[in-house]
């Protein structure tokens, strides 16, 4: 196995990803950052220099489990102190599974400022994880949403009373490029800027391509399509899927997919790649790119003769629900889940009010990050007073809770307490969605677990009944994932083995939701964690003599 070295300098730069100039957080001057390419079993070493003038940073390797290196997970407040301006921090970890992953900032709402990119891990040749499918070429597609307001202003608005909501994005980006439609109205808009030139994906007629698709959106659930070309879904979050064919692919923030397409259409015209917002009423035009055939009569720069596809109806939940249920393990790559769980945590997702602030809460508790990272606080003597020692609730109190009604009592508390899991135990988590503070509103939440893949055992719409629904779980061929959607008014059940020593965040991948408290943390086997590298310390009570 090889070691892949990266030297990164993080800095603010003026960028025009959608033709409108904005300060963005960049890696070596670029957003998105470089794609990390490695082979299963390789060690990735990334030396990060924080050259932001006044902001901290931390970088999370999303989908990489960090077995044996929990301090390299890059989650500020959970696994490390942030990297201070001027400081350098080295992440080193093994990529032990093939597949499509991503990285992004995990400090405040910095991910949406542009600090994100792809990780592509090839299967070890001839190994047991070799792909059960064939293709001739490969393209990478990184989907994002983009605002003109600074991330700092967005975060300050979310923390204000009354709340200043971030609103719908101005643009949708594909590989860091988009086009703000009201360019003529915007001041600093340069539609001729090369940074916002439409991306082109070139294909050879008759060949089959693997498109790796990842979403790092801050808010938007997306629907992705390649005009005129059906897609066969073959990978999700680094696991092989029992192939199924779609015209449109729903993809939530934090998810990755691979699809195969055959270049078998008329080569003499171009085709749109398009991303459209679903699950929230859209206020953003489609993100677009162009598919062009080599040897065809159309210049790759020419717009397709059609209008960009508008995607399915944004509120067609049943359609998206069906894709979730269709995503199961490839028959030759089934890893059966343990037949039963040792513990079940039922998490009711609600929107709440604390004083005049709008928050998200789980079982009435809105999450706050501790100032001293859990991993350090739990490994070093005398630091346990740095976070709330009371365990958060295993379920919600109100048994007859009506998930279709506005919360009868919008109050919640805040806490930085965490769930301690018995090492090696099997844990079920059922995420229960509900109505928001406004009537007739419930949106999709993509939940992401650090440090593990989980089996997706089942989905439902309505209130989860622990006496009934577990009987319908898929224990035969459930897919393993690290991010999963909880549909409007619905529930999602997942199972994992708490066998990775460390402290791991589990949260909604919508940047503003996590910022407003939509997350929890798990601890397991922290006594088995090797001595911590001192570089993760230096904040809170880890400063100085500790
Ligand atoms: Cu990609 Cu904790 O997130
Ligand atoms: Cu959410």
pLDDT tens-digit readout, 46-72: 999 999 999 999 999 999 999 999 999
Task: Give me the pLDDT at residue 546, please.
Answer: 43
Pocket of ligand 1 (CB under 6 A): 60, 62, 75, 104, 106, 254, 448, 450, 505, 507, 509
For the CA of 517, the nearest ligand: 2
Cα angle, residue 431 at apex, residues 315 and 342 outer, rounded to 5°: 155
Closest-CA residue, ligand 1 atom 1, reads: 62
To the nearest 5 percent, what fractions of the chain are helix, strand and coil?
10, 40, 50
Q: How far is 538 from 544, CA to CA, in rounded Å?
A: 7
Computed over every residue of the chain, the mean pLDDT equals: 96
What is the Å distance from ligand 2's center to 518 Cα? 7
ipTM exceeding the 0.95 mark: yes
Task: Give me the pLDDT at residue 301, please.
Answer: 86
**132 alpha-carbon distance from chain centroid:** 25
Residue range 490-504: mean pLDDT, rounded: 98
Handedness of CA 314, 319, 320, 321 (dihedral sign): positive
Task: Examine the pLDDT at 119 and tell me if it is beyond 90.
Answer: yes
Q: Given pLDDT bands bounded at 50, 70 and 90, which one contains residue 189?
A: confident
Instruction: Kindly list the structural domains of the chain, giving each domain's residue range(s) and its CATH number in brackets, ordered by start.
Output: 3-326 (2.60.40.420), 335-542 (2.60.40.420)
DSSP state string for 215-282: E--SS-EEEEEETTB-EEEEEETTEEEEEEEESEEEE-TT-EEEEEEE--S-TTS-EEEEEEEESS--
Query: Is the peptide bond preceding residue 32 cis, with omega within 30 degrees of 0?
Result: yes
- The first and second tokens of residue 241, run together, are 């899927």
Question: Quick check: helix, strand or coil at residue 449?
Answer: strand
Contact 178, 201 (CB under 8 A): no
Residue range 488-497: mean pLDDT, rounded: 98
Phi, psi (deg, nearest 5) at residue 41 = 95, -15
What residues pair up with 395 in beta bridges, in sequence order?
A: none
Query: Is the peptide bond preceding residue 195 cis, with omega within 30 degrees of 0?
Result: no
Contact 175, 140 (CB under 8 A): yes
Q: How far is 111 from 107, CA to CA, in rounded Å?
A: 8
What is the Å distance from ligand 2's center to 68 Cα? 29
Task: Give me the pLDDT at residue 186, please.
Answer: 62
Q: How far is 511 from 513, CA to CA, in rounded Å?
A: 6
Predicted TM-score (pTM) of this structure: 0.97
Q: How far is 229 from 309, CA to CA, in rounded Å?
A: 12
Phi, psi (deg, nearest 5) at residue 322 = -65, -40
For the CA of 256, the nearest ligand: 1
Atom of ligand 1 nearest to the CA of 254: 1
Residue range 83-107: mean pLDDT, rounded: 97
DSSP state string for 145-183: EE-SS-HHHHHHHHTSSS-----S-SEEEETTB---TTT
Atom of ligand 1 nearest to the CA of 75: 2
Task: Give me the pLDDT at residue 147, please.
Answer: 98
What is the Å distance from ligand 1's center to 217 Cα? 11
Query: Is the peptide bond preceding residue 37 cis, with omega within 30 degrees of 0?
Result: no
pLDDT tens-digit readout, 194-249: 899 999 999 999 999 999 999 999 999 999 999 999 999 999 999 999 999 999 99
Task: Give me the pLDDT at residue 41, please.
Answer: 97
Entry field: residues in the chain? 546
Radius of gyration of the chain measured on its C-alpha atoms: 22
Contact 43, 429 (CB under 8 A): no
Number of continuous H segments (helices) and E segments (strands) in the chain: 4, 32
**Which of the residue ranges 124-128, 403-407, 525-529 would you say has the lowest mean pLDDT?**
124-128
pLDDT tens-digit readout, 270-322: 999 999 999 999 999 999 999 999 998 988 889 999 999 999 999 999 999 99
299 Cβ contact list (under 8 Å, min separation 6):
292
What is the Å distance from ligand 2's center to 220 Cα? 10
468 Cβ contact list (under 8 Å, min separation 6):
none
Atom of ligand 1 nearest to the CA of 62: 1
Residue range 409-415: mean pLDDT, rounded: 95
User: How many other C-beta atoms are found inside a 10 Å radius of the C-beta of residue 66?
Assistant: 24
Contact 494, 468 (CB under 8 A): no
Task: Examine the pLDDT at 113 and tell me if it is beyond 90.
Answer: yes
Share of the chain above pLDDT 90, in %: 92
* DSSP summary character for residue 142: E
pLDDT tens-digit readout, 259-271: 999 999 999 999 9
Task: Examine the pLDDT at 398 and tell me if it is beyond 90.
Answer: no
Task: Give me the pLDDT at residue 126, please.
Answer: 86
- The first and second tokens of residue 168, run together, are 């719908």
């Amino acid at each position: 196995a090889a070691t892949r070295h990266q030297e990164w300098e993080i800095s603010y730069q003026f960028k025009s990803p959608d033709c409108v100039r904005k300060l963005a957080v960049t890696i070596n001057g670029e957003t998105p950052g470089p794609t990390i390419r490695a082979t299963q079993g390789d060690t990735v070493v990334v030396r990060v220099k924080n050259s932001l003038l006044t902001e901290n940073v931390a970088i999370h390797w999303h989908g990489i489990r960090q077995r044996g290196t929990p301090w390299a997970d890059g989650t500020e407040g959970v696994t490390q102190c942030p990297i201070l301006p001027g400081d350098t921090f080295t992440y080193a970890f093994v990529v032990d599974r093939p597949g499509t992953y991503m990285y992004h900032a995990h400090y405040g709402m910095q991910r949406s400022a542009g600090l994100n990119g792809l990780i592509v891990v090839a299967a070890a040749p001839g190994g047991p994880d070799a792909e059960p499918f064939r293709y001739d070429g490969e393209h990478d597609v990184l989907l994002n949403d983009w605002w003109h307001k600074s991330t700092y202003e967005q975060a300050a608005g979310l923390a204000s009373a009354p709340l200043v909501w971030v609103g719908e994005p101005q643009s949708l980006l594909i590989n860091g490029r988009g086009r703000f439609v009201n360019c003529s109205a915007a001041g600093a808009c340069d539609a001729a800027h090369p940074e916002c030139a439409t991306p082109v994906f070139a294909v050879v007629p008759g060949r089959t391509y693997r498109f790796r698709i990842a979403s790092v959106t801050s808010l938007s659930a997306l629907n992705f399509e390649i005009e005129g070309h059906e897609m066969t879904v073959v990978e999700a979050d680094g696991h092989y899927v029992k192939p199924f064919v779609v015209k449109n692919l729903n993809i939530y923030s934090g998810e990755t997919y691979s699809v195969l397409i055959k270049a078998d259409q008329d080569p003499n015209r171009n085709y749109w790649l398009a991303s459209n917002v679903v699950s929230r009423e859209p206020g953003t035009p489609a993100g677009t790119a162009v598919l062009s055939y080599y040897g065809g009569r159309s210049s790759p720069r020419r717009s397709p003769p059609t209008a960009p596809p508008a995607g399915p109806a944004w509120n067609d939940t049943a359609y998206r629900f069906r894709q979730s249920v269709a995503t199961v393990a490839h028959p030759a790559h089934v890893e059966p889940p343990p037949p039963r769980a040792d513990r079940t945590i039922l998490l009711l997702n609600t929107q709440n009010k604390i004083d005049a602030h709008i928050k998200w809460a789980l079982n009435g508790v809105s999450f706050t990050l501790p100032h001293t990272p859990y991993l350090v606080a739990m490994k070093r003597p005398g630091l346990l007073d740095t976070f709330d020692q009371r365990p958060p609730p295993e379920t919600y109190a109100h048994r007859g809770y009506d998930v279709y009604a506005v919360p009868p009592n919008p109050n919640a508390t805040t806490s930085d307490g965490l769930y301690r899991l018995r090492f090696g135990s099997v844990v079920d988590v059922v995420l229960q969605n509900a109505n928001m503070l406004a009537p007739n509103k419930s949106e999709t939440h993509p939940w992401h677990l650090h440090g593990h893949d989980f089996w997706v055992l089942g989905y439902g719409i309505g209130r989860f009944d622990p006496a009934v629904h577990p009987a319908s779980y898929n224990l035969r061929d459930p897919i393993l994932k690290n991010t999963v959607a909880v549909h409007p008014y619905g529930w999602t059940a997942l199972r994992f083995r708490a066998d990775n020593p460390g402290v791991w965040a589990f949260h909604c991948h919508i940047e503003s939701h996590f910022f407003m408290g939509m997350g929890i943390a798990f601890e397991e086997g922290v006594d088995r964690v090797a001595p911590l590298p001192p570089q993760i310390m230096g904040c809170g009570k880890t400063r100085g003599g500790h």
